[in-house]
């Protein structure tokens, strides 16, 4: 049983990250697209479309980070100093973004500063998350179980590419969310934005998919050695098929399908990256078993997660069901 505990915790953390991608990144995308709204009423509608959801979505980020600290303390002790700067920027960006969200409505009509903070916080948070992801994938220098690199080891072209790709991807999620939640000219503008962002996201997906096996031998071996290749080929095939459905749904002016297909693309990319790195939690040297906490600590924390996770999921289901309707310009929850 003890050997399976790190696998269970790795699955929980991966689930938390995936749920964060699904539930929080569309509201970061709305912030990224915020400056492109032409009218004040449209910007209000964009913020109101995410008002019931945004503050609860960070729950999954807390669960992922807290789970890493509790279940894999050695990995936490290595990853944090290696990525201290982008993690700090991400947290500060999320704080300023959250403050600006609340203060913008309270300070009307003089809220230009909070508009800027909302957009800048969204862009910086998205970019930092991409840099963190790229920094982990490319590998962290470890010696004697401790971080042995420099403060700027993460600042590579690959990590910066991942940062830009995540900004474009979150923008796409935000545009498809607006399509599904808002009506009129704002929804049509978001559809036009999505048709521009979608090809850009596919380019970033293609670049990362080619870059990783070409630069990192461990990833190339994972994907292209036999018998792995026979089991893993459905992942890129499903990605291509879902990309076609996403583009088709945009061209047909469907409302809900673009958002769900965009989310599906993100989840497939996440699965692909997980396949590339598992079981390494700190590539290319420390696995989930190398960095796991003692079994008693993992079991104790797991009991709390087993009780709390259904409650959290139930809360999100209730909120999304309660506020399932569309937001019209001039209406909102503030």
Which segments in the chain show pLDDT lower than 50?
Answer: 1
Rounded distance between C-alpha atoms, residue 65 and residue 114, angstroms: 28
Question: Dihedral sign, CA of 140, 144, 145, 149?
Answer: negative
Name the DSSP letter for residue 205.
H
Confidence (pLDDT) at 195: 92
Token pair 């004040």: residue:
40
Name the 3-class secondary structure at 165. helix
Measured in degrees and rounded to the nearest 5, phi and psi for residue 111 equal -135, 20
Confidence (pLDDT) at 101: 79
Measured in degrees and rounded to the nearest 5, phi and psi for residue 160 equal -65, -35
Name the DSSP letter for residue 214.
H
Sorted by sequence, the CB contacts under 8 Å of residue 221 that are 6+ apart come out as none
Q: Whole-prediction pTM value?
A: 0.89
Nearest to 210 by CA among 276, 287, 303: 276
The DSSP H or E segment spanning 142 is: strand 142-143
The answer to whether 50 and 173 have CB atoms below 8 angstroms apart is no
CA 91: distance to chain centroid? 14
Confidence (pLDDT) at 170: 93
In the chain, domain spans: 5-192+282-322
Confidence (pLDDT) at 331: 58
Encode pLDDT of 162-221 as tens digits: 999 999 999 999 999 999 888 888 888 999 999 999 999 999 999 998 898 888 888 888
Nearest to 125 by CA among 165, 67, 86, 80: 86
Confidence (pLDDT) at 89: 94
């Amino acid at each position: 049983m003890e050997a399976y505990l790190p696998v269970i915790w790795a699955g929980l953390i991966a689930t938390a990250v995936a749920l964060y991608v699904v539930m929080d990144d569309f509201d970061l995308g709305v912030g990224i697209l915020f400056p492109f709204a032409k009218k004040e009423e449209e910007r209000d509608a964009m913020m109101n479309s995410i008002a019931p959801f945004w503050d609860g979505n960070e729950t999954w980020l807390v669960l992922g980070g807290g789970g890493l600290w509790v279940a894999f303390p050695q990995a936490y002790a290595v990853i944090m100093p290696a990525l201290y700067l982008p993690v700090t920027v991400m947290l500060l960006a999320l704080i300023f973004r959250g403050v600006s969200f609340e203060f913008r409505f309270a300070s009307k009509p003089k809220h230009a500063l909070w508009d800027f903070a909302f957009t800048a916080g969204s862009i910086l948070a998205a970019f930092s998350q991409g840099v963190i992801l790229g920094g982990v994938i490319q590998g962290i220098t470890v010696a004697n179980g401790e971080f042995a690199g420099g403060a700027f080891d993460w600042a590579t072209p690959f990590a910066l590419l991942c940062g830009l790709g995540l900004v474009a991807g979150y923008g796409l999620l935000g545009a498809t969310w607006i399509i599904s939640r808002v009506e009129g000219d704002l929804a049509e503008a978001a559809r036009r934005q999505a048709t521009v962002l979608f090809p850009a996201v596919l380019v970033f997906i293609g670049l990362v998919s080619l870059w990783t096996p070409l630069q990192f031998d461990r990833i190339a071996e994972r994907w292209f050695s036999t018998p792995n290749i026979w089991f893993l080929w459905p992942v890129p095939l499903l990605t291509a098929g879902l990309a076609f459905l996403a583009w088709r749904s945009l061209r047909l002016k469907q409302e809900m399908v673009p958002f769900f297909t965009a989310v599906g693309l993100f989840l497939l990319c996440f699965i692909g990256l997980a396949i590339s790195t598992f079981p390494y939690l700190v590539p290319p040297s420390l696995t989930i078993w190398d960095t796991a906490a003692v079994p008693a600590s993992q079991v104790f924390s797991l009991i709390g997660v087993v009780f709390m996770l259904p409650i959290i999921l139930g809360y999100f289901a209730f909120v999304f069901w309660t506020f399932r309707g569309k937001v019209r310009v001039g209406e909102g929850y503030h």
